Each structure stands twice: as structure tokens, then as C-alpha cells.
Amino acid sequence: MKFDIVTIFPRMIDAGLEEGVVGRARERGLLDIAVHNLRDFTTDRHHVVDDVPFGGGPGMVMKPEPLFAAMAAIVERRGQPGAVVLLTPAGRPFSQGEAKRFAALGHVAVLCGRYEGIDERVRERWATDEVSIGDYVLSGGELPALVVIDAVARLVPGVVGDDQSVEGDSFERGLLDFPHYTRPADFAGMRVPEVLTSGHHGEIRRWRRRQALRRTFERRPDLLETAVLDDEERGWLREWNATRARTE
């Protein structure tokens, strides 16, 4: 999987991609990630990447020329990406589904804006996707870019050691995760649920499904609209809804 990131803060991107499973996958050659410093694509003495907005108003706008030059260089040196992603609060909400779609493309470029945003003509010419990581305002697209790259990278076969771990991930199942415990079984009187130390693997699986469903029911009922449930799970939901109805 190939990624190209365009930013005025390359060290911020480097730092976020050196550690953990993504860092190791790069070393192993599973991920080819190139970080491009936008200032390298300026032609003026002071490497200026921003300018005042036409029409007036506060803040600065990212100039189109360096971004056009950076994208042309990426296509030339690295090939045409399957998607050019622009990070913006005005984008489609990022999701596990979007991450899967990008992973399937094999080559994704990501443009990180700063200031008030980037010149609209960059979006028109280059962006294939506009993505938001949530309804809050950040000071730049670098952190969202790291979020998107991390979520996509861990879907690349081999990046996460155990495929089972990816398949078991919260949003892969459409439900929140179940609670996790490790040793000691008794920590200052806080005991691990007995079923987990019982060795009854069928009962453990059942307990975890029930816990995952319970948490989703309580914290993210919106996810239940699309979650795939078996008969037993639908039964539990019916009980919990009935209890709620009786106590309201």
C-alpha cells in the first residue's frame, strides 16, 4: 500500500508514522509512505505557501501553485493515486467503511491544509474525496491525515500481526468492543469476571457477545440499526428494551 502526504509540517507526519504497527510495517516494506514538504514546491525566495483571501476577511489561504506542483510531482514520481483525500470539517464523516474503500485502492494521496483552508481550485482539480474525522475544529489537516492513514494501514494484510485481531475489531463487527482483562485475577479486591477464568470457551464467547451488545445498547444505540445480530442477541436486546420500557 502506497501513501503520499503533502504538508507544511512533515516532521509531524513522520513522528506519527514511525512508531507501533505502522512503523514496523514500513520497515518490513508492507507500507510505502512518502511525506512531501509543501515548501519544497514553492519557487520564491521565502517559500511562501499562503496568501490573503480574495474578498477580504481574517486568516490566510493556502496558495494553489505549490499544491498543484506537489500533486504533479507525486503523479510523475509515484504514479496516479487511486484517491486524493482532502481533510476538512466539510467532508464526509470518516468511518471503517471509508477506510476499507481506501485500503482497496492501493495508493492514496492525502492533502493537509493549514490556515483557513486551501484554494478551492485545488479541491476542484485534484481532490477525489473530502473527509472529516469529526465535528470539531483542528488547526490543520495533519492529525486527521494520521488518523486516516493509521485506520487504512492496519487493514493492509500483514500490517497487524494477527488477522483475527482486525476481524474482531469493534467496528468490523458493527458493535462496540467487550471489556478486556489480564492478570492478576484479583487486583486490590477488584476481581476479573469468573467466566473468563473458567476455561469454558463457549461461555466466554457468549459472555463477550453479550457484553459487546450491552455496551452498544447503552452507549451507541445508533449502531444497532446496522449491526448483524443472531437470534440470541436479538433476544437479549428485546429483554433490555422491555426492562427499560417498564422502568421508564
Catalytic positions, written as ranges: 89, 116, 154, 169
Please state the closest distance from residue 23 (CB atom) to ligand 4HQ, in A: 23
Nearer to ligand 4HQ, 139 or 247 (CB): 139
Please state the closest distance from residue 63 (CB atom) to ligand 4HQ, in A: 14
Closest CA to 71 of 87, 83, 53, 54: 83
Nearer to ligand 4HQ, 132 or 170 (CB): 132
- Count of C-beta atoms within a 10 Å radius of residue 247: 6
Query: Are the C-beta atoms of 68 and 125 separated by less than 8 Å?
Result: yes
Please state the closest distance from residue 25 (CB atom) to ligand 4HQ, in A: 24
Nearer to ligand 4HQ, 26 or 39 (CB): 39
Site of grid cell 500500500 = 1
Interacting residues with ligand 4HQ (CB under 6 A): 87-89, 113-114, 117, 132-134, 136-138, 140-141, 144
Strands 107-111 and 83-93: parallel
Please state the closest distance from residue 110 (CB atom) to ligand 4HQ, in A: 11
Please state the closest distance from residue 237 (CB atom) to ligand 4HQ, in A: 33
Nearer to ligand 4HQ, 63 or 209 (CB): 63
Question: Distance between terminal CA atoms of the chain?
Answer: 51
- Please, which residues have CB within 8 angstroms of residue 126's CB and are 6 or more apart in sequence? 67, 68, 71, 84, 111
Nearer to ligand 4HQ, 33 or 118 (CB): 118
Cell of 21: 504497527
